[in-house]
């Protein structure tokens, strides 16, 4: 199942500690499933001048046939939450957990999401890069300052950037390149009472 494949990749991956703990996965989704999702994302018709989050309940309206797959991934994340967070000794934790899952469409420049850290309701964050072939990955900073840029998690389709948010530490930002929308699959472990949840036990 796709959820088992995704979570197994996460748990088997080693943690990179600079500038703060994170993981980089490659070939995150089974190739056949990734190609299907990518082809569907290429045809998404959404505004090109603002950030758009497409939640599973809206997939059918945009002809995205990935609801069962994202549900399986979300359920498997919930079932393996402690193992997924286990590589991050300072991670937040809540006994009541849920998953926030969506496809994120970032417009081309000059749009840029500001340097930020995860909200306190988020425990574990993953961003899988879908399309295009070349774009901007996730930028990591030592502080909330452009001058504190350390490195970028390289944009590579079907690779995934993962971390557990820590207050005052996990500063990051993202943007598109000059001409193309940046499409990602985002999955977050969150507190069960969070405002936006997709799946819950």
**23-36 confidence digits (pLDDT tens):** 999 999 999 999 99
Which position has the higher pLDDT, 195 or 78? 78
Digit-coded pLDDT (tens) for 55-93: 999 999 999 999 999 999 999 999 999 999 999 988 999
> What one-character-per-residue DSSP string does 58-109 give?
GTGGGT---HHHHHHHHHHHHHTHHHHHTT-TT----SSEEEEEEEEEEPPT
Question: What's the pLDDT at 110?
Answer: 85
Domain boundaries, the chain: 2-200
Whose tokens are 């082809």? That residue is: 39
The total number of residues written for the chain in this structure: 201
Q: Which CATH superfamily hosts domain 2-200?
A: q2cbj1_9rhob like domain (2.60.120.620)
């Amino acid at each position: 199942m796709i959820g088992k494949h995704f979570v197994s990749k996460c748990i088997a991956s080693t943690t990179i500690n600079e500038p703060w703990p994170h993981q980089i996965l490659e070939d995150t989704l089974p190739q056949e499933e990734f190609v299907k999702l990518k082809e569907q994302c290429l045809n998404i018709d959404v505004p090109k001048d603002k950030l758009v989050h497409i939640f599973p309940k809206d997939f059918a309206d945009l002809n995205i046939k990935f609801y069962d797959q994202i549900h399986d991934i979300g359920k498997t994340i919930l079932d393996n939450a402690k193992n997924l967070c286990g590589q991050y000794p300072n991670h937040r934790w809540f006994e009541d957990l849920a998953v926030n899952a969506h496809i994120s469409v970032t417009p081309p420049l000059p749009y840029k999401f500001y340097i930020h850290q995860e909200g306190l309701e988020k425990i574990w964050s993953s961003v899988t890069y879908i399309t295009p072939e070349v774009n901007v990955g996730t930028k990591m900073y030592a502080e909330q300052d452009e001058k504190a840029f350390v490195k970028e998690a390289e944009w590579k389709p079907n690779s995934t950037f993962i971390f557990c948010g820590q207050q005052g530490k996990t500063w990051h930002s993202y943007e598109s390149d000059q001409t193309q929308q940046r499409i990602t699959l985002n999955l977050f472990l969150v507190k069960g009472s969070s405002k936006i949840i997709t799946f819950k036990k």
